A and B are shown apart, each in its own frame.
Chain A
Amino acid sequence: MILFLAYLAVVLSLSSALLALLIRQQAVLATGFVKARDKGVRLPPAVEKFLVDALSPTRFQSRLQQLVFLCLGLAGLSAILSGLSVLVSDSIVRDQLVLGLPWLPWHVRLDSLSGFFYLIIGLAVAAVSLFGPGYVKDYDEQEDSFTVLGLFTGIFIAGMFMVLLADDAFFFMIAWELMSVASYFLVSFQHQEAANRRAAFLYLIMAEVGAIAIILGFGVIAGFSADYSFTFDAFRDTDLSVTWASVAFILALLGFGMKAGLVPIHVWLPEAHPVAPSHISALMSGVMLKVALYGFIRFCFELLGDIQWEWGVVLLVIGALSSLGGIFYAMMQNNLKRLLAYSSVENIGVIFMVLGLSMIFLDQGHPEIAALGFMAALFHAFNHALFKNLLFLGAGVIQHQVHSLNIDDMGGLIKRMPHTSKLFLVACMSIASLPLFNGFVSEWLAFQTALRVDVIDNAVLRSLIPVAAAALALTAALAAACFVNVYGVMFLGLPRSRHAEKAEETQDKGMLAALSLLAGLCFLVGVIPGMVISLLNNVSIQIIGNALPNVAAVNWFWLAPVSAEQASYAAPLVLFGVLLVGGVSFWYLRRNSALEFKRTETWDCGYGGLNNRMQYNSVAFMMPFRRIFANVWELDEKIDKKSSDVPQQVSEIRYQLQVDDHSWRWIYNPIERLVYGIARIIGRLQTGNIRIYLAYSFVTLIFLLWVVS
């Protein structure tokens, strides 16, 4: 049953892909339908009526699009169901498909870990399926065709599901690459812009490199497996020498990290996510990165055998680098989706940091704390999936209404788009990890893990982990600043452009429904984290082999993972408190209706003429940070003043800011130059002169003869 649901998810997403192919076949279908009727095929009148309506040239496109997304939605639902049921029943389902190599059929396995990620993907896909129809409604089939979009969306989602199902290296790689390739097409979807093409190319190449690293990693394990079979079961009971295991670990980190977007192999992410359609970038950023995370966990915690604490340290460092780097670069962006992409880098960094913690604790012999860290990581993955989807979909709505993604073109949207603005606020509060929202809970758990450092004996780790905690704290604070900026500049203040002035709330119920769903989940999980955590318990029992130190104290009300007197958090109580105090003070102060406040002009120091150019925009907002952390970015600031005839008076001043990523200058451009240089050198071999070619063959012959004799 569980397996059936799991397969159903894959099949449904694939079928949505196939349905999308029909979008241009309206005429064919209609005639076929008419023929069938003439043939005397009788349908129930309701169905017939619906078909007649749906096949009419005017309606067909929107109807089919709705159908496609309906399929996706059902896929998402079945994924949620199967994920939940496997988590609750804490069972392991296995199967084999008749596909693949003659001696290596596709092995399928659904356990708590993959079930959990199934749940994540299912939620995201469900939301997207609500969001999609409204978003793609007015696509011009000629310009950017829905055929391509729908087709590859379906394949992409199916690929992600298959990655979770895979239980042998071959199937895993196929599913993995399917996911990558499909998303590549989605990135290059609107390929009229050169930027999109560039992003797609970068993405494809890095995906390929990552896949190669992963294959190599699997190969290393397989090299030591008993009968050289590539099933994960065989991997599970091979034990590698520490050296080889570490090699495999590094390869996996490279491969999966490249997909997850760890610094410095993150550069494809801020390029690719902004250019894809919003609901796709929501899936890529919110979910695909999690699939990479899943692969990494599966690889390191399960297939690789014993964990080494050094790996944990590596993760800690890389994670800290990514989280800080990600948020720093996010702060400097003014393209909303680019900003969100960078903040994904940050969150992934946080997740990997906490994973590193749990690795360290595991190797140091404290599995219960390792379990705590592991859960913190998974929980944060879950939360990130929720609020990052919400943010990207919100960005989609805004792009749809404001026709821009530059946050400095917006402003004042809170009045023009009331619903969206509220939902977006929820997302911002979650990602800024404020209490009562889900982001806070996972961060809280992360801190709890870090604070258990005193059980460790190793002095290096004892001093390293607090530093990591400090980095984590700084990251959180920066994230809050970053999203205050985002929300403030986009939704508050005066409109900064005519687009923003004209903007109005979307009329599409589906879009808002998707946003509300996610926002609701963010809040619910934030207030009642216990439910998710109790699900996660099974996962950590399966992977780490240990539950929370204090499962009993984890219920809907209390959250005391370690022990009640050591640390506890009762979000419902806090919520109650906030409502109480807020309500009372509100009631008390508003009781006197004579004191109803009055609206007047904004105070303008008596000069008058406040306009929207006087308020802070994101560049101005971030100025102090640019000053303080100047070396983090490759800043290129230009200020050119035109001084007027009056001395010491500036008639016109223009400010330009260019923020670049260090990794390009230090890593990627050199590589490209290297490859091209080598190519040029080797090109010299082929002079075009036939006599030289003859000489080649002559020399080769002589050489080989000399070799053999």
Chain B
Amino acid sequence: MNWIFAFIQTLLFIVLAPLLVGWVKWWKCRLQNRKAPSLLQPYRDLLKLTHKQPVVSHTASWLFIATPYIVFSAMILAASVVPLISIDLPTAASADVIVLVGFFAIARFFQALAGMDVGTAFGGMGASREMTVSTLAEPAMLMAIFTLTMAASSTNLASAIGYVLDQGMVLRPSFVFALFAMILVAIAETGRIPVDNPATHLELTMIHEAMILEYSGRHLALIEWASAIKLMLYGVLISNIFFPWGIAVDFAPSALGTALLWLLLKLAVLAVFLAITETALAKMRLFRVQEFLSFAYLLGLLGLLSHIILEASR
């Protein structure tokens, strides 16, 4: 039963991801006084891409073609272990939060390689920058998550969230630190302003786009979709870890329904925040990014320490 449910939940992830992207886009347009595309535009794009004939450079190798599938499945596996609307998630046991970070690592690893595969300057540039950013982001994210896992003394997301839920409304300084760290990391990892600009294709500033410059057709579709899922993953992580209220603990339909509503609400709010920040802030220079991320790293570490010293001390 609950395996099937886990499957459904993962599907939900896949399906909702483009919607989230569209929602963010819509709000940005609104905030910038532009006419917004429909919320379903991302779906249309994906559909269009899957029906186009992909073009691959002569110099590309099998790795270039395999990468989109690897990235996509890595993201979906990541999605499958993150409690979306219910914490009673069997797949969560198969891979805990460290493995989740590992999934992101795989996707990044292959994307970077694929970027270098064709042998253009852009690909290498993108790969180099992506690895730099993520090198700084990954430890920060781990720190942030460890704060939670230490509090819950479990790296299993489901049981960790469950723990926070049981605790009820407790104000933890460590969680505040962790939350901010997490948000910064999420911005960096999903390639959002001020770290990266998903909309730009200006050679010198792009990071993520530079890697996937050579992709087209269904390959591009997979990658776009994967990054959409990634965005949603971070959103869900933030909202469900730090504001788990409303998430279902069992499969009672009513509970699930409310949980879904709660989730959509939380995500929507987060997305609005994201849109606002992206509108308000300007993209920063590449070599300011490390300050941004080391700040995140610091926050995560502070969260961890404050948890160890203030809260868990006996």
**Do A and B come into direct contact in the complex, CB within 8 Å?**
yes
Residues in chain A within 8 A of chain B (CB atoms): 411-412, 414-415, 425, 429, 432-436, 440, 444, 447-448, 451-454, 457, 459, 462-463, 466-467, 469-470, 473-474, 476-478, 480-481, 484-485, 487-489, 492-494, 564-570, 573-574, 577-578, 580-582, 585-586, 589, 594-605, 610, 612, 614-616, 620-625, 627-628
In the complex, which of the residues A492, A600, A622 contacts B116, with contact meaning CB atoms closer than 8 Å?
A: A492
Q: Which residue of A lies closest to B143 (CB)?
A: A470
Q: Is the pair A615, B139 in contact by a Cβ cutoff of 8 Å?
A: no
A603 touches B214 (CB 8 A): yes
Which of B26-34, B95-103, B267-275 forms contacts with chain A?
B95-103
Q: Across the A-B interface, give the 4 residue pairs with the lowest CB-CB distance, nearest first.
A: A616-B124, A493-B119, A488-B116, A581-B73
Add 8 more A-B contacts to A466-B146, A493-B123, A615-B119 (CB < 8 A).
A435-B99, A444-B98, A444-B99, A577-B76, A595-B52, A597-B54, A600-B56, A624-B287
Let me know if A569 and B94 touch, CB within 8 A: yes
Distance (whole angstroms) from the CB of A324 to the closest CB of chain B: 11
User: Cβ of B139 and Cβ of A603 under 8 Å apart?
Assistant: no
Q: Are B153 and A602 in contact (CB under 8 A)?
A: no
A566 touches B156 (CB 8 A): yes
Dominant secondary structure at the A interface: helix
Q: Check B98–A570 contact: CB distance below 8 A.
A: no
Contacts of A623 in B (CB 8 A): 128
With an 8 A cutoff between CB atoms, is B35 at the interface? no
B279 contacts chain A at the CB level, 8 A cutoff: no
- B154 near A435 with CB under 8 A, answer no
In the complex, which residues of chain A have a beta carbon less than 8 angstroms from the beta carbon of B95?
435, 569-570, 573-574
Q: How far is the CA of A157 from the CA of B47 in the complex (A)?
A: 60
CB proximity of B216 to chain A, nearest CB, Å: 8
B261 within 8 A of A: no
In the complex, what residues of B have CB within 8 A of residue A621's CB? Answer: 124, 127-128, 131
Is the Cβ of A615 less than 8 Å from the Cβ of B124?
yes
A548 CB, min distance to chain B CBs, angstroms: 16
Given contacts A463-B305, A466-B146, A602-B57, are A454 and B153 in contact (CB under 8 A)? Answer: yes
Report chain A residues within 8 Å CB of B109: 429, 432, 434, 480, 484
Given A477-B138, A616-B121, A620-B128, decide whether A600 and B153 contact each other with a Cβ distance below 8 A: no
Q: Given that A480-B109, A567-B156, A612-B119 are contacting pairs, would A454 and B308 also be in contact in the complex, using a CB cutoff of 8 Å?
A: yes
Verify B146–A459 contact, CB threshold 8 A: no
Which of B59, B105, B142 contacts A434 (CB under 8 A)? Answer: B105
Bound CA span A120–B103, Å:
29
- B contact set with A: CB distance below 8 Å: 50-59, 61-63, 65, 69-70, 72-74, 76-77, 80, 91, 93-96, 98-99, 102-103, 105-106, 108-109, 112-113, 115-121, 123-125, 127-129, 131-132, 134-136, 138-139, 142-143, 146, 149-150, 153-156, 159, 203, 213-214, 217-219, 221-222, 286-287, 290, 297, 300-301, 304-305, 308-309, 312-314
- A633–chain B nearest beta-carbon distance, Å: 16
Q: Can you list 6 contacts pairing A with B, beta carbon distance less than 8 Å?
A: A415-B61, A462-B312, A474-B139, A481-B135, A597-B217, A615-B121
Contact of A470 among B93, B139, B156, B309 (CB under 8 A): B139
- Check B131 against A616 for contact (C-beta < 8 Å): no
Check if A602 sits within 8 Å of B96, measured CB to CB.
Answer: no
With beta carbons under 8 angstroms apart, the residue of B52, B94, B221 that contacts A574 is: B94
Give the docked Cα–Cα distance between A582 and B68 (Å).
9
Contacts of B128 in A (CB 8 A): 485, 616, 620-624
The docked-state distance in angstroms from the alpha carbon of A577 to that of B134 is: 25
Closest to A621 in B: B128
Q: Report yes or no: A453 in contact with B218, Cβ–Cβ below 8 A.
A: no
Q: How far is the CA of A480 from the CA of B98 in the complex (A)?
A: 15
- A602 and B135 contacting across the interface, CB-CB below 8 Å: no
Q: Are A492 and B120 in contact (CB-based, < 8 A)?
A: no
| Choice from B72, B132, B213 contacting A628 with Cβ under 8 Å | B132
Closest chain-A Cβ to B40's Cβ sits at a distance in Å of: 21
Q: Contacts A435-B99, A451-B150, A597-B217 given: A628-B61 contact, CB under 8 Å?
A: no
A485-B131, A493-B59, A600-B55 are known contacts. Are A480 and B105 too (CB-CB below 8 A)?
yes
B127–A616 CB distance below 8 A: yes
Shortest beta-carbon distance, B134 to chain A, in Å?
A: 7
Q: Which residues of A contact B146 (CB under 8 A)?
A: 451, 466, 469
Give the chain B neighbours of A565 by CB distance below 8 A: 93, 154, 156, 159
**B105 touches which one: A412, A432, A462 (CB < 8 A)?**
A432
Q: How far is the CA of A236 from the CA of B292 in the complex (A)?
A: 53
Contact B155 A488 (CB under 8 A): no
Contact of A585 among B72, B116, B153, B287 (CB under 8 A): B72
Given contacts A435-B106, A585-B69, contact A601 B150 (CB under 8 A): no
B159 adjacent to A566 (CB under 8 Å): yes
Task: Name which of B52, B96, B309 has the most chain A CB atoms within 10 A of its CB.
Answer: B96
B-chain residues with CB within 8 Å of residue A463 when the two chains form the complex: 305, 308-309
Q: Separation in Å of the A558 CB from the closest CB of chain B?
A: 8
The smallest beta-carbon distance between A580 and chain B, in angstroms, is 8
A489 to B138, CA, bound (A): 23
| Contact A480 to B131, CB < 8 A, known contacts A434-B109, A589-B218, A599-B56 | yes
Report B-chain residues with C-beta under 8 Å of the C-beta of A477: 134-136, 138-139
Question: Cβ of B91: which chain A residues have Cβ within 8 Å of it?
Answer: 573
Known A-B contacts A463-B308, A488-B112; A567 and B96 likewise in contact (beta carbons under 8 Å): yes
Chain B residues with CB under 8 Å of A612's CB are 119
Give every chain A residue within 8 A of B50 (Cβ-Cβ): 589
Chain A residue at minimal CB-CB distance from B294: A628
A448 touching B155 by the CB < 8 A rule?
yes
> In the complex, what residues of A have CB within 8 A of residue B98's CB?
444, 447-448
Given contacts A493-B118, A578-B74, A624-B132, contact A487 B113 (CB under 8 A): yes
Residues of A within 8 A of B80 (CB): 577
Q: Are B57 and A492 in contact (CB under 8 A)?
A: no
Which residues on A sit within 8 Å (CB–CB) of B70? 578, 582
Q: Which B residues lie within 8 Å of A564 (CB)?
A: 93
Contact of B55 among A444, A447, A578, A597 (CB under 8 A): A597
Q: In the complex, A76→B56 CA distance in Å?
A: 46
Name the A residues within 8 Å of B124 (CB-CB): 488, 493, 615-616, 620-621
Q: CB-nearest residue of chain A relative to B147? A: A466
In angstroms, Cα B53 to Cα A614, docked, is: 28
Q: Is the CB of B120 within 8 A of A574?
A: no
Question: Which residue of B65, B72, B80, B155 has the most chain A CB atoms within 10 A of its CB atom?
Answer: B155
How far is it, in angstroms, between the C-alpha of A589 and the C-alpha of B54 when the chains are bound?
11
Query: Which among B72, B98, B108 has the highest number of chain A CB atoms within 10 Å?
Result: B98
- Decide if A470 touches B301 in the complex (CB within 8 Å): yes
CB distance from A92 to the nearest CB of B (A): 36
Please state if B155 and A567 are interface contacts (CB–CB under 8 Å). Answer: yes
User: Which of B116, B129, B135 makes the CB contact (< 8 A) with A478?
Assistant: B135
A490 to chain B, nearest CB (A): 10
B156 contacts A480, C-beta separation under 8 Å = no
Assess whether B77 is in contact with A484, with CB atoms less than 8 Å apart.
no
Give the Cβ gap from B179 to chain A, nearest Cβ, in Å: 17
Complex: A605 Cα to B213 Cα, angstroms: 11
A414:B61 contact, CB within 8 angstroms:
yes
Chain B, Cβ-Cβ closest to A572:
B94
A311 vs B155: C-alpha distance when bound (angstroms): 28
A595 B51 Cβ-Cβ under 8 A: yes
Query: How far is it, in angstroms, between the C-alpha of A603 and the C-alpha of B57 when the chains are bound?
Result: 8
Closest to B126 in A: A616
Q: Check if B135 sits within 8 Å of A597, measured CB to CB.
A: no
| Pair A574/B99 contact, Cβ less than 8 Å | yes
User: Quick one: given A466-B146, A568-B96, are A435 and B313 in contact (CB under 8 Å)?
Assistant: no
Shortest CB-to-CB span from B101 to chain A, Å, is: 9
In the bound assembly, the distance between CA atoms of A434 and B95 in angstroms comes to 13
B290 touching A628, Cβ below 8 Å: yes
Contact (Cβ within 8 A) A466 B308 = yes
B304 nearest CB across to chain A (Å): 4
